[in-house]
Amino acid sequence: MDYQLTDKTVLVTGATGGIGQAIARAFAAEGATVALGYRNDAGRAERLAGELGRATAVRYALDDPAGAAEAVTAVRERHGGIDVFVAGAFAWGPRRPPGTRFEDVPPSQWLPLVEHNLAPVVRAVQLVLPGMRERGWGRIALISSHNAFDGQPGQEFYGAVKAALYGFARSLAWDAGPDGVLVNVVAPGLTLTDRVRGKLPEHIKERERAHTPTGRLSSPEDVANTVLFLCSAANGNITGENVTVAGGR
């Protein structure tokens, strides 16, 4: 399959995470120039950029109001424009402690989760969209979560942020579609990143496998391949959709 990405520039935020790295590698393997958005670990991002070849590292801090603009400006200065935007970065906040009721969580704990994870994505899309419209071609993928649509105890605020991405994509598809820009949401289920492999108890992974039709958990590459297709020329008319990568869950 010809993805026609050899002349495209891709900005992937959260590129030093398990799923983000797999996405960056997938685009680089197809000849795209990849900008690796990172928050704190510049060394890790630079090492990945060196490994991929046609790649650069750019700082993208979700909790910095100017973070999106600085990252997009840096990519434009280095590469001339952004053809594909993959919003994979996520700033975690405190989780609701076990036994604590939802209504007892103070705004000081949950408001930053919303402010740091929704507004920066919307702002970044506002910044990359004009160039895509001008070129008559663009692809946007917003990384959500299976939990946003299936629910999970104690995940109300996380679920609210991730589900909001779908509502955003559904409406944006109407605005951007006539200009050749397709926008979709990819919602991974529990994914076997290095962190999940090392920190999640085996009995929980086994429980999740037992409740998954395919009998296995997704790999980061499973997610990356889905994003790659949706953000390539191979996707000619899929937009405003939520694609779940969770083995049928």
Active site residues: 158
The count of other CB atoms within 10 Å of the CB of residue 26 is: 26
With beta carbons less than 8 A apart as the criterion, state whether 228 and 235 touch.
no
Distance of CA 35 to the CA centre of its chain: 14
Compute how many other C-beta atoms are within 10 angstroms of the C-beta atom of residue 55.
Answer: 23
Long-range contact list for 127-133, CB < 8 A, 24+ apart? 127/68, 127/69, 127/72, 128/11, 128/72, 128/82, 128/85, 129/176, 129/181, 131/76, 131/81, 131/82, 132/82, 132/83, 132/176, 132/179, 132/180, 132/181, 133/176, 133/179, 133/180, 133/181
- The residue ranges of DSSP E strands in 120-231, in sequence order, are 138-143, 181-188
DSSP state of 214: T
**Helices (H) and strands (E) in the chain — how many of each?**
10, 7
Measure CA 95 to chain center.
Answer: 21
